[in-house]
Structure 1
Amino acid sequence: MIYASVAFLTVLLLGAPVALVLVYSGAAGAYSLGGFDYLIIVAEKMFSGVSPFVLIAIPYFIFTSELMGHAGLTERLITFNNALIGRMRGSLSHINITVSVFFAGLTGAAVTDTVSIGKILIPAMKKEGYSPEYSAAVTACSSVIGPIIPPSIIMVVYATILRDISVIDLFAGGIIPGLAMALSMLGVSIVLAIKNNFPKHEATPFRMAVLAFLQSLPALIVPVIILGGILSGVTTITEASAFAAVYTLLIGFFLYRQLTWPKVWDAMVKTIRFSGIVFFLMAGSTVLSWFVARSGVAREAADFISGVSDSQTIQILAVVAFLILLGTLMDVLPALVIVGPVLHPTMVGLGFDPLHFAMIMIVTLNVSNVTPPVGMTLMTAAKIAEVSYEKVIVAAIPFFSAILAVILLLALWPGMTLWVPSLLH
């Protein structure tokens, strides 16, 4: 374990990419177990880490999310949500959250949601008198819903790394936590709207509301294609993701007529770049996961956690606190591939349900998008709003508190995650 720890810290402090940190520390651990003969295992494990067929879904999900932004689907979803709740005080703030729920069923990537929604809603909110920092904060925090409500790239990665839990169960398990997070933030938005006397819009005429619904209907069908096909068993995850990408291409070209070949090329380039990062991380995490399993680190971690307290409530709250702290230092995906192979078998060994703990880890680490100093969605929204990062952090505190309340509820109530998957079995 000493070899792996020294290699991990050394390469990390040198500023190497996280994927290389995982590979080098795993290789050092392999050497400590069996010398140079064990180093061949590094290449084998890296290949096996990216070989599962389900991983083909990742670039398709990324490609679909990129096409969404280019095809004009975001604007139509915003128009539809405005027709639904535009008459409420603070309507643009509420719309920001509800649109993120719809968008979560399309993309599954938090930063993508921040960019797609923020470029439209943040300028509109500033124009109506909302402060730039509040506009950025509500956009960044609501985007956290994206990777929780399926489809979710993070869930696919998690299931591939751990192998003892299915992507379908993770998708189903994320529905209620994601909706609960949206409702909690919507509650905060309503209270702040009343307190600060935010503006509201005039009621949308019925005819215009119906028109907005019809225009957004093709976009609303995308999550039905993905989730409906997967959960019903009609399609596999890979087939559903590919069909969603093709469907988005078709409506972007022939229905909305906003897609062009240069835009498609741009979406493909971004897909390749992001996919490369994800697959390299997964390859590296497989090496480290193998070492963790062979070295007994998981058993030592279980002994440490059980030594903190015999109460499962204290144990899970301690892990949640650790994951939130880790999220302040690392982005969600690198953090997941580093601690997932250690914590998952540890907590399962202590008696926690695998699916329940998986959702706790995914939801809690996903908060890293809005916790400084990393806070990728906060940084992105701050740049769009042209306001200092520090001001956005302060403005995000009420929404972060709402997210934290949902995490605590999720940790203490397993049924929040397990109920929907139980209906599928």
Structure 2
Amino acid sequence: MTSAISVFIVLLFIGTPIALLMALSGLAGSWELGGLRFIQIIAERMFSGVSGYLLMAVPYFIFTSELMNQAGLTERLVAFNNALLGRIRGALSHVNIVVSLFFSGLTGAAITDTVAVGKILIPAMKREGYTPAYAAAVTACSSIIGPIIPPSVVMVVYAAILQNVTVLDLFAAGILPGLLMTVALLVASFVMAWIYKFPRHGDTNLRDAARAFLPTVPALLVPVIILGGILGGLTTITEASAFAAMYTLILGFFVYRTLTLRKVWESLVATVRFSGVVFFLLASSTVLGWFVTRSGLARDAAGMITAISDNWIVQIGLVNLLLILLGTVLDVLPALVVVAPVLVPAMVQLGFDPLHFAIVMIITLNVANITPPVGMTLMTASQIAGVPYERAIVTALPFYLSHLAVIAVVSLWPAFVLFIPSLFD
């Protein structure tokens, strides 16, 4: 175990790609445990990590989100929300959050939401008098709703790695926390709009809102089709994801008429690239995960947590702090595949519900995605806004505090997370 930890730390500090880091750390640990006999099964482990039927849903979900981006869904959602909220002070700030809520069900990746929403709303907010730092902050902090509200690529990957909870349960459990995150961000947005006297977007009425809403209806049916089929027991996760991709193609070509063969090709290329990253991470994580299981590292981690405190509130608080610290230097998916095989068995051994802890981990790692020094979503939004990253960090503090409040509620109130999944038992 010593050699695996040493290799992991050294490779992390020299900037080795995370997939290679996990594979080489697992190889080092496997050699220490059983020599050549264990090394020989590594290839089989890597293949088994990416051969599951469930993982076929990942490229379909990614392809669907890319097609929706290319079809111009974001612009339609922005138009609808502007018409609905235009009279309210700080309208574009609230619109930014609500659009992320709608858009999250179509992507499930925070960076995708940041780019798609930010390229439209950040320039619009700057033109109406919002500071670039504020525009970047609200865009980045709202975009992390994406991996919480289903369908979510992160949840599919989690279920593939741990296999102790189903994707169906994860999707159902993410709904209420995602909505709570949206409400908390809107509260912060309304308070800041009142304090800083943000502008209204313009006079609107219900007729304008209805006229703007109608073109968005076919696109908003995409998450309804996915979740309705899965939660209703009509389709599997993979079947629903494939059907959503086909529906989106038809929508883009024949309803919106905004898709072209060139755009479909660009969507396919982006899907292959992102899917390659995801599957390489999964293959490498199985090597490290197998070593963690054989070495008893999860058992040792549980023992360390218990040694610090036997109070469950303290225990989950310490784990949340660890996840945020880890998430400051790693993106969500790499952090998940590195830490989940160690922490999840340890927390289950301590008595935590596996589904509850899964949602806590996913939310906390995504909040860490806006936490310095890396904070990829906030850094991306800062680049779009053309503002120094440090200024965006300071401006994002109220939104960040609202996310921490959500983490506290979700961590300390398991019944809140488990309510909707219990309806399908």
Bin of the TM-score, shorter chain as denominator length: over 0.9
Partner residue, 2:351: 351
Tell me which amino acid in the other structure corresponds to 1:261: L
Displacement, 1:14?
A: 3.4
* Aligned residue identity for 1:238: T
* Separation (CA, whole Å) in 2 of partners of 1:109 and 1:383: 18
Distance 2:201 2:394 in 1: 27
Question: Match for residue 268 of structure 2?
Answer: 268
Offset from partner CA, 1:288-344 (integer Å, 9 cap, x none):
111111101111111100011111111111111111111111111111111100000
Give the aligned partner of residue 195 of structure 1: 195
- The equivalences for 1:316-327 within 5 A come to 316-327=316-327
- Asked whether the 8 Å contact 1:225–1:240 carries over to 2, the reply is yes
What is the correspondence of 1:214-363 to structure 2 with a 5 Å cutoff?
Answer: 214-363=214-363
Aligned alpha-carbon RMSD (Å): 1.0
Residue 411 of structure 1 corresponds to 411
Q: In the alignment, is the contact (CA less than 8 A) between 2:86 and 2:201 conserved in 1?
A: yes
Give, in whole Å, the separation in 2 of the partners of 1:197 and 1:231. Answer: 43
Q: For residue 368 of structure 1, report the CA deviation from its aligned partner.
A: 2.2
Q: Secondary structure at the match of 2:107?
A: coil
Deviates more, 1:176-185 or 1:368-377: 368-377
CA distance in 2, matches of 1:208, 1:14: 55
Q: Does 1:6 align with 2:17?
A: no
Matches within 5 A, 1:354-393: 354-393=354-393
Asked if 1:129 corresponds to 2:129, the answer is yes
* Corresponding residue for residue 66 of structure 2: 66
Q: Conserved in 2, the CA contact under 8 Å of 1:108 and 1:153?
A: yes
User: Aligned letter for 2:185?
Assistant: M
Is the contact between residue 30 and residue 38 of structure 2 (CA under 8 Å) also seen in structure 1? yes
Q: Distance in 1 between matches of 2:128 and 2:13?
A: 45
Matched, 1:116 2:116: yes
- Matched to 2:89, the amino acid is R
Structure 1 position 193, deviation (Å): 0.5
Displacement after TM superposition at 1:100 (Å): 0.5
**Aligned mates of 1:248, 1:385 — CA distance in 2:** 30
Contact preservation (8 Å) 2:84, 2:205: no
Matched, 1:147 2:151: no
Q: How many residues align?
A: 425
CA drift at 1:78: 1.1
Distance in 2 of aligned mates of 1:282 and 1:177: 26
Q: How does 1:151-170 map to 2 (within 5 A)?
A: 151-170=151-170
- Distance in 2 of aligned mates of 1:410 and 1:117: 27
Gaps of 5+ in 1: none
Matches of 1:11 and 1:374, distance apart in 2: 18
Distance 2:13 2:318 in 1: 27
Q: In 2, distance between residues paired with 1:202 and 1:28?
A: 62
In 2, Cα distance between equivalents of 1:218 and 1:369: 31
- Normalised to the residue count of structure 2, the TM-score between the two structures is 0.98
Greater Cα shift, 183-192 or 22-31: 22-31
Contact 1:145 1:178 in 2 (8 A): yes
Unpaired segments ≥5 residues, structure 2: none
Counterpart-to-counterpart distance in 2, 1:206 and 1:414: 39
In structure 1, C-alpha distance between the alignment counterparts of 2:332 and 2:210, rounded to whole Å = 39
Q: Bigger CA drift: 93-102 or 202-211?
A: 202-211
- Per the TM alignment, residue 9 of structure 1 is displaced from its structure 2 partner at its CA by 2.2
The aligned residue for residue 103 of structure 2 is 103
Structure 1 window deviating more from structure 2 (198-207 vs 326-335): it is: 198-207
Percentage of pairs with the same residue:
63
AA partner of residue 143 (structure 1): S
Instruction: Please give the secondary structure, in 2, of the residue aligned with 1:105.
Output: helix
> Does structure 1 residue 80 correspond to structure 2 residue 95?
no
Aligned residues of 1:77 and 1:219 also touching (Cα < 8 A): no
Query: What's the CA shift for 1:264?
Result: 1.1
Distance 1:264 1:373 in 2: 36
